Amino acid sequence: MSVRGLLWLSLYLTLITLPLGVATIWPGEFADIPTLMKVGVAFGFLAFTILGLEFSLISKIQSVASAFGMDALILFHRQMGLVATILVIAHTVVLVYNGYPIQWLNPFGPDTTWAMRWGIVSTIALLVLILTSLARQQLRIPYEWWQWTHDILAKIVVLSALAHLLMVGAFSSQRPMQIVLGGCALLIFGISVYFQVLRPLWLWSRPWIVVENLKVSADTHALTLRPENHSGFRFEPGQFAWLSTGTSPFHKDRHPISMSSAASDESGLPIEFTVKDLGDWSGKVVPTLQPGSRIWVDGPYGVFTPDREQGPGYVLIGGGVGITPLVSMCETFAARGDLRPVYLFYGSASVESLRFRDRLEALKTRMNLHVIYALEKPPEKWNGEAGYITQDLLQRHLPAQSKRFQYFICGPGPMMDSIERILPKLGIPGSQIHTERFVMV
């Protein structure tokens, strides 16, 4: 982890532990309350603080993303969401155990206060949020609708929890706790206003236009976009942007898509994105986009890039649409005249599902590129590798000096999990292994 990452983590841990100290140590009119009761109250404050700070960790704040990487942020976001849920349940159980009437958990009960009702609303919304995230594919919830409802549920959870804390009073009436809660509320409000109001307004004045929509395989399209009346942005190879094809940047459809063209030090140039059919938007909307269509592009994001990880050579391992950022890396190496060796391992189901094959073969003439294809279902007279990318396959193709190379992995989850287990067995240090996952849930 970088120094910046350590600083962010220290700040995060400090902020989430403040309520625990205030609720259990701070002297005042509640000093004589039993310790177990205080701990139960502290669980609630901790849950609220964690949920509030989740907004900043998973948001598009570049300083946070660059310190940890998108993979680490998504994983941490999931884990801390589950931790907060456990704390909410523990908060309820401990307080009921210490004498709170269990009938107060009935939101329609005559003795239930509005403070309790807001707590119940927050808890139900949190449980629904967790359930729909963990079981989205099993429930067959389209990504676009999950993204929209996830955002709404998250706000309901935090705002209802805040109303619960303030209306209950007690510990939240103490000045130190009010400062902590006020700081969390301001942070949540500020991030929400910036990313849901100010940022979209800024993007509205910076549209992009479809130059070309090329079908590169049976289920994949390559979109070439150019900035309209603005300078666009520069990006690093391997980065991604959020695309929206709605009538404005406020539309609910926002999708993280990697750039597949070469990075450039110049701004204002057209940029290519490659989109695979994975759902309603990518399968139904993207194929219908015509030249001249307007798109909103929010980027660049991500730290999955060789520009930040220098080495004597690179090993790129990809599968499925995960090959896209790796192609951008290769295109960039070629455009820069970079002659460091690059070994690209490309796993796919069949010859028909290989993307960018012609481009990769052409890139071999412009850079020091070695491409190793591995097909699950190879045709007859196939000269490449058959099956999955395994430890034996890697050992047969990697050069002796590859332990000093930088490794970039992007593809289906099972493939990435397998490669992450294999590389340490080959003596590759963890600091030289970089991954990118686009499965948000």
Q: How many CB atoms lie within 10 A of CB 220?
A: 21
What pLDDT shows up at residue 52?
75
Residue, of 386 and 50, whose pLDDT is higher: 386
* CATH 3.40.50.300 corresponds to the domain 311-436: no
Q: What are the backbone angles phi and psi of residue 160, rounded to the nearest 5°?
A: -65, -40
Residue, of 261 and 246, whose pLDDT is higher: 261
Q: How many CB atoms lie within 10 A of CB 50?
A: 22
For β-strands 271-276 and 255-258, DSSP reports them as unpaired
**Hunting for tokens 């941490």 — which residue is that?**
76
pLDDT at 94 over 50: yes
Query: Would you place residue 70 in the very low, low, confident or very high pLDDT band (cuts 50, 70, 90)?
Result: low
Q: Contact 310/336 with Cβ under 8 angstroms?
A: no
Largest CA distance in the chain: 82
Distance separating alpha carbons of residues 342 and 313, to the nearest angstrom: 6
Per the prediction, the chain carries an average pLDDT of 84
Distance separating alpha carbons of residues 253 and 148, to the nearest angstrom: 8
Distance separating alpha carbons of residues 246 and 238, to the nearest angstrom: 25
pLDDT at 201 over 80: yes
Domain 3-201 fold: Four Helix Bundle (Hemerythrin (Met), subunit A) (1.20.120)
Distance separating alpha carbons of residues 248 and 81, to the nearest angstrom: 30
Helical segments of 337-390, H only: 357-363
Picking from 19, 56, 53, 15, the residue whose alpha carbon sits closest to that of residue 39 is 19
pLDDT at 144 over 90: no
Q: Contact 4/308 with Cβ under 8 angstroms?
A: no
End-to-end CA distance of the chain: 24
- Between vectors from CA 219 to CA 216 and to CA 221, what angle results, nearest 5°? 45
Tell me the pTM.
0.81
Distance separating alpha carbons of residues 125 and 108, to the nearest angstrom: 17
Which H/E stretch holds residue 258?
strand 255-258
Residues paired with residue 297 on neighbouring β-strands, in sequence order: 243
Residue, of 315 and 182, whose pLDDT is higher: 315
pLDDT at 8 over 70: no
Residues 105-140 pLDDT 10s: 888 888 888 888 999 999 999 999 989 888 887 888
Ranges of each domain in the chain = 3-201, 208-301, 311-436
342-348: strand order across its sheet:
385-386, 369-375, 342-348, 314-319, 406-410, 433-436
Return the structure tokens found at 208.
Answer: 């992009």
CATH class of 208-301: mainly beta
E-strand stretches of 114-244:
208-217, 220-227, 240-244
What pLDDT shows up at residue 260?
94
pLDDT at 215 over 70: yes
- 300 preceded by cis ω (within 30°)? yes
pLDDT at 21 over 60: no
What pLDDT shows up at residue 278?
77
What pLDDT shows up at residue 31?
58
Picking from 348, 98, 366, the residue whose alpha carbon sits closest to that of residue 357 is 348
Picking from 437, 436, 428, the residue whose alpha carbon sits closest to that of residue 311 is 428
Alpha carbon separation from 204 to 48, 293, 354 (Å, rounded): 33, 14, 36
pLDDT at 173 over 80: no
What pLDDT shows up at residue 20?
59
What pLDDT shows up at residue 306?
94
Task: State the average pLDDT over residues 367-395.
Answer: 92
Task: State the average pLDDT over residues 18-40.
Answer: 65
What pLDDT shows up at residue 441?
45
Picking from 247, 291, 246, the residue whose alpha carbon sits closest to that of residue 270 is 291
Q: What are the backbone angles phi and psi of residue 320, rounded to the nearest 5°?
A: 60, -145
Distance separating alpha carbons of residues 130 and 157, to the nearest angstrom: 11
Residues 323-348 pLDDT 10s: 999 999 999 999 999 999 999 999 99
Residues 392-439 pLDDT 10s: 999 999 999 999 999 999 998 889 999 999 999 999 999 999 988 765
